[in-house]
Structure 1
Amino acid sequence: MITVQKFGGTSVADPERIREVAEHAVRTKRRGTDVVLVVSAMGKETDSLLRLADDVSTTQPGREMDMLITAGERKAMALVAMAISDLGVPSQSFTGSQAGFITDTTHKDAKILELRPERIADALAEGYIPVIGGSQGVSLERDVTFLGRGGSDTTAVAIAHALGAEFCELYTDVAGVYSADPRIVSKARRMAEISFDELLEMTATGCPKPAMRSVEFARRHHVKLHVRSAFTWEPGTIVTEETTDMEQAVVNAVTHDTSEAKVTVSGVSDQPGVAAQMFTSLAGAGVNVDMIVQNVSDHGRTDISFTCPHSDAERATELINSLSGHVGNAGVGFDHDIGRVSVVGAGMKSNPGVAAKMFQVLADNDINIEMISTSAIRISCVIQQSQVEDAVQVLHTAFGLDAD
């Protein structure tokens, strides 16, 4: 049996933490399970490297940035392998390219195209504990590539799939997936089990860990996940195809996100192809559009609002203004002071009234809704940023999620 264990930056932040990770890996090995480690850069190492890049360069070529950033993971993997070897178990460290991660040529956010894990499989067969540097690979042009923020989770899930691992364990500084951010809701509860669909909705609407891309990969390739703490080593949250609850909770979690701004385009010509042209232009400029709401047409004109990352709002506004003649001399404005609150639960599929209850709870607390978006198992509302924490707290209580 093989288990892949991924450790985030806080889990390997200093020599003491590295030794504890090494001891945990060796315990796993001595219980009869082959183990592969994936490690992130130590602590805030990646942020330090980015600051160094800012200090020396304004151009920051993508190829060199990837070479720089992935140095943090290479440093961590070598130290962890050394610590394991000191415990009497042989260990070898591997870069992403040595581990067989073949990516596209996009720098700073590369995508995995193929995985050739022969060296990792050989190391396991020879009794080693392989330690892989996370979030990196080699491109088709044979350059080092970086998979982007959260890419170590994706590295771990991908190698787990390639090796046919029983589990992929994602170790973080929290004890699992919670029903809300514990920093905001003191009575947030850790979920013992959650479905991939629910976790995908949570990560898409503000839950920071694990990385959404890794959850998508795990669901697509049927890799079982276990999100748990590297500080307490207690069991965390199991992520599977479907939960085993006979009766699923209507709502399992309340998430929030304050990373986006709202852009409103007023007076758009209500004609076929206008919205397509606008959003095609935004996509071509790399603006990541999220929620979209269009009002009912009035005298051939309509208003369209959408959300996008704060860093993209001004660029989106400038781009739409440049299209003014094509979209009907529309006016454009943006608002950075918004946030999103969402309720998520697989049980919503078969239980009517969740939206009505959510809206009523927000209304009872004088929280105005500016935009609404839904899926089969999620309802999201855009509200003022200053009211986000209050909204999360009252919704968490209203849907019976508070821990006893």
Structure 2
Amino acid sequence: MALIVQKFGGTSVGSPERIEAVADKVLRYRAQGHQLVVVVSAMSGETDRLIGLAKAITDRPPPRELDVLLSTGEQVTIALLVMALEKRGCPARSYTGSQVHILTDSAHNKARIQEIDDARVRADLDAGRVVVVAGFQGVDAEGNITTLGRGGSDTTAVALAAALKADECQIFTDVDGVYTTDPRVVPEARRLERITFEEMLEMASLGSKVLQIRSVEFAGKYNVPLRVLSSFEEGEGTLITYEDEQMENALISGIAFNRDEAKITVLGVPDQPGIAHRLLGAVADANIEVDMIIQNIAPDDQTTDFTFTVHRNDYDRALELVRRVAGEMGAREVSGDNRIVKISLVGVGMRSHAGIASTMFEALAREGINIRMISTSEIKISVVVDEKYLELGVRALHDAFHLDQAPQSA
């Protein structure tokens, strides 16, 4: 018998019929002898509907009151799921985040979990009940309802699994696991049986939408085995866990990509201490996140050139800021391009295998794809290319590293 925390997202509980299907799935696990805590999101579209109601009243809803409003979405779902379980003869009990006492800080709309009182949940589990908990929400020290930000139900599930020392945290979604890349771009993409926390964090931060980044961080910190499964079909899914020797057999675990990239280039900046801070500090002060950065010393040794990337939504504002600051510094030219994408190889096997970068560059060169920028870490290589080459580039790399084939055992 295992203690399992299961999380079902908005699509999985998007209608009464789907909630009934979730109840059937929960019962199948319970019939195997497992103790179950089930975390649910609001029904698909409900959070957007509630935000729309708030915006119909005011363009700037008070953050505290917005949290009070948004938390009602999950309250509907937990009640309906418990009704469905009880109807099937399964004892169950629902809890809001505050009833469990998921204590958070007071950062409304993006709160962080500080601790969880698991006493009530454990008592119900010991009494043979399935516990159904509202995801995405908690309560601060003053008793105010808080929410964890978009995708926060994943974080609720992982945090509960950590507090309860659960054997596994299962994230049920509309895909049946983590793939080597997006199957919509590469139909031959393969579902991974296992992936490390490190790799999943990189994949999530680089554009993969399967899991919310904070939940993966939390799982890695507290060593909570995570499994991604489909709500709509049976299967083993993908286990996210710590690295083992078998994982090193695979050079590359997956290819992530991000379409939301833009780059800004500043040429002819005086080569003096503090220049990078002046340029990028103005961008940071505007709460614009900078991703990749390249700096080159010009042939005259008196000036330097900067290129950096930002999210495409921030491009116009960042370009305006940089033009102003660069003008004050006497830079020669400022240019930008918001028709670029980032493609990234991710794999713990990079630590112990050479030649991955050259294979990547050769595969792109064969397709006539010019690389604009390169960034590396211990388990990642990212390149920026023109937007029109995204799908061609991903397919070429998927073929070059034979990702449609499972790695051979050592």
Instruction: Report how far residue 322 of structure 1 moved.
Output: 4.7
Give the length in aligned residue pairs.
404
The within-5 A match list for 1:1-400 is 1-245=2-246, 247-297=248-298, 298-324=300-326, 327-329=329-331, 331-400=333-402
Instruction: Report how far residue 106 of structure 1 moved.
Output: 1.8
Whether contact under 8 Å (2:90, 2:129) holds in the other structure is yes
* Secondary structure class of the residue paired with 1:223: coil
How far apart, CA to CA, are the structure 2 residues paired with 1:54 and 1:37?
Answer: 31
How far apart, CA to CA, are the structure 2 residues paired with 1:104 and 1:330?
Answer: 47
Instruction: Report how far residue 400 of structure 1 moved.
Output: 0.4
Q: Which amino acid aligns with 2:135?
A: G
- Does the C-alpha gap of structure 1 residues 37 and 323 become closer, same or farther in structure 2, counting only changes over 3 Å? same
* Secondary structure class of the residue paired with 1:268: strand
Q: Which amino acid aligns with 1:155?
A: T
Instruction: Report how far residue 227 of structure 1 moved.
Output: 0.8
Whether contact under 8 Å (2:269, 2:331) holds in the other structure is yes
In structure 1, runs of 5+ residues without a counterpart are: none
How far apart, CA to CA, are the structure 1 residues paired with 2:128 and 2:19?
Answer: 21
* Secondary structure class of the residue paired with 2:204: helix
Q: Which amino acid aligns with 2:156?
A: T
How far apart, CA to CA, are the structure 1 residues paired with 2:63 and 2:332?
Answer: 36
Of stretches 294-303 and 350-359 in structure 1, the one that deviates more from structure 2 is: 294-303
Q: TM-score, normalised by structure 1?
A: 0.94
Instruction: Report how far residue 244 of structure 1 moved.
Output: 5.0
Of stretches 230-239 and 44-53 in structure 1, the one that deviates more from structure 2 is: 44-53
How far apart, CA to CA, are the structure 1 residues paired with 2:326 and 2:248?
Answer: 52
Whether contact under 8 Å (2:39, 2:134) holds in the other structure is yes
Of stretches 221-230 and 70-79 in structure 1, the one that deviates more from structure 2 is: 70-79
How far apart, CA to CA, are the structure 2 residues paired with 1:331 and 1:145?
Answer: 46
Whether contact under 8 Å (1:348, 1:376) holds in the other structure is yes
Instruction: Report how far residue 327 of structure 1 moved.
Output: 4.5
Q: Which amino acid aligns with 2:107?
A: T
Instruction: Report how far residue 299 of structure 1 moved.
Output: 4.1
* Secondary structure class of the residue paired with 2:361: helix
Whether contact under 8 Å (1:278, 1:327) holds in the other structure is no
Q: Which amino acid aligns with 1:372?
A: I
Whether contact under 8 Å (2:266, 2:331) holds in the other structure is no
Whether contact under 8 Å (2:247, 2:349) holds in the other structure is no
Whether contact under 8 Å (1:100, 1:118) holds in the other structure is no
Whether contact under 8 Å (1:201, 1:378) holds in the other structure is yes
How far apart, CA to CA, are the structure 1 residues paired with 2:54 and 2:312?
Answer: 23
Instruction: Report how far residue 123 of structure 1 moved.
Output: 2.1
Instruction: Report how far residue 334 of structure 1 moved.
Output: 3.4
- Does the C-alpha gap of structure 1 residues 347 and 121 become closer, same or farther in structure 2, counting only changes over 3 Å? same
- Does the C-alpha gap of structure 1 residues 384 and 82 become closer, same or farther in structure 2, counting only changes over 3 Å? same
How far apart, CA to CA, are the structure 1 residues paired with 2:311 and 2:141?
Answer: 30
In structure 2, runs of 5+ residues without a counterpart are: none
Q: Which amino acid aligns with 2:5?
A: V
How far apart, CA to CA, are the structure 1 residues paired with 2:333 and 2:72?
Answer: 46
How far apart, CA to CA, are the structure 2 residues paired with 1:54 and 1:216?
Answer: 32
How far apart, CA to CA, are the structure 1 residues paired with 2:83 and 2:365?
Answer: 57
* Secondary structure class of the residue paired with 2:143: coil
Instruction: Report how far residue 280 of structure 1 moved.
Output: 3.7
Whether contact under 8 Å (1:187, 1:403) holds in the other structure is no
Of stretches 285-294 and 325-334 in structure 1, the one that deviates more from structure 2 is: 325-334
Q: Which amino acid aligns with 1:352?
A: A
* Secondary structure class of the residue paired with 2:291: coil
- Does the C-alpha gap of structure 1 residues 266 and 67 become closer, same or farther in structure 2, counting only changes over 3 Å? farther
Q: Which amino acid aligns with 1:160?
A: A
How far apart, CA to CA, are the structure 2 residues paired with 1:60 and 1:136?
Answer: 18
